[in-house]
Amino acid sequence: MDYYFTGEIIQLNIIENSVGDPSVWLVRNEHGYVIPIQHSYFEAKVGDTVEVWGTLSGNGYTNVEGVGNVVGQTGSMHAMLVTVNEEPQY
């Protein structure tokens, strides 16, 4: 499923996943929703604002301890196109 998400990177983390790089950005949007985004070849740091276009995985991940979220469980997103602080990444 194609998906778009934008927000601030609040944490870098690792997820248990058998597909792709397990490194993720935890990104919180303006409404408080947090989603883990597998970013593979894109680089950004905590505090950066990202816009991400990609696909959703069917896997569900429980909320990371210490990170408030509107929902207690979410799927991850695989980044395909990314801007970091309004700069396109290639």
What is the structure's pLDDT at 65? 74
**Nearest-5° angle of CA 62, CA 26, CA 38?**
90
- Per-residue pLDDT band at 50 (split at 50, 70, 90): very high
Res. 67: pLDDT tops 90: no
Q: Which CATH architecture has domain 2-89?
A: Beta Barrel (2.40)
Res. 12: pLDDT tops 70: yes
User: Is residue 9 exposed (0-12), middle (13-18) or buried (19+ Cβ within 10 Å)?
Assistant: buried
